[in-house]
Amino acid sequence: MESTNMTIATRNSHKGRIPELDIIKFFGILLVVFGHVTRMYTPVGLITPLESSSVLALTTSIIYSFHMPLFVFVSGMTFGVTCKKKSYQDFISFARNKAKRLMIPYFVFALFWVLPFMVGFGFRPFLPYLTKGLLLSLDSRHLWYVWMLFNVFLLFWGLRFLFEKLHIPDWAILLVSASLFLLRTKYSVCPYFEINNALTYQFWFTIGYFAIQYKSTFRTCLPIIVAMGLVGNYCVGGGKTVYALTGIYVFYRSAPWLKAITTTRLFDLINKNSFGIYLFHPIIIYLLFYIFGDLPVNPYLLTALVFLTSTAASILLTELVRRKNMGVIIGEKPIA
């Protein structure tokens, strides 16, 4: 009876949810964590392990060709769902809400998680890293995504509000976002406060938004967009865009076939704690490689152990923060 009740409760918890969104979110965060682990086997990894692996380096290149556009695409989908449920009319309240959800976690984790490790373990000098690296976000490690996403939300809100007032079709936002994306491929607008990245990733966020707002049309048009990207890549280059579009297409089209995983405890555990996992996991990865990276450990074994350990530890830390009613530092409302 207890098992039956738990199954019914799990099913009820998924009512009204969009399986494609949750499934892409699930694989998106796991790809982010795994990519940060395998990145250590590339020349740009913060800590170089004793044992090298060209296979893991190649794996990193493949994951990095699409995983962040996919992650931002999911954020756009989530915002699309939110916009269908309620309308944001007040920019101040919207910006305040996003600052609580994103910028408070950014500064808490920047000052009390990233800074102590990067300075304490000798990777960066204190004052330059505090000012340029974190406060200007020129080297904020994984936290670049958090500030970038805050900018993207504000920019998208502004475009959406402006176009509504001017009675311009909202699909024109996609044209503006594509133009900003193309602008960034040629010029650096502003490297501070993740403005450059926001102008780049606005495009992927917008695609995710329209995937929800115009679901049937999007399903039809996405293969066409990918095909156009392939043609454009052949004619003028820009392979990274094609890889990102292809990655999004593969996961978006595959998601309906994977609905069975949405009823598992692991799926709920990962999705429930996905933002906390994102905030916590890189420093845990750094610590594990700092401790074990100089040992003659098989790269595949070390990668698997670090991936599983960093994910599990991040979930435990997120749950601990939540139980201590400190959810505000992971972008959640405090428990009343």
- CB-neighbour burial class of residue 298 (10 A; exposed 0-12, middle 13-18, buried 19+): exposed
| pLDDT per residue rounded down to tens, the chain (336 residues) | 434 343 444 444 455 567 888 999 999 999 999 999 999 999 999 999 989 999 999 999 999 999 999 999 999 999 988 877 766 668 888 999 999 999 999 999 999 999 999 999 999 999 999 999 999 999 999 999 999 999 999 999 999 989 988 888 888 898 899 889 888 888 889 999 999 999 999 999 999 998 888 877 777 676 766 665 555 555 445 557 888 888 888 898 888 899 899 999 999 999 999 999 999 999 999 999 999 999 999 999 999 999 999 999 999 999 999 999 999 999 998 765
Q: pTM of this prediction?
A: 0.89
Which amino acid type is present at position 173? I
Angle between helices 195-213 and 144-165 (to 10 degrees): 60
* Cα angle for residues 312, 317, 319 (degrees, 5° grid): 95
Which amino acid type is present at position 298? N
Distance CA 86, CA 90 (A): 12
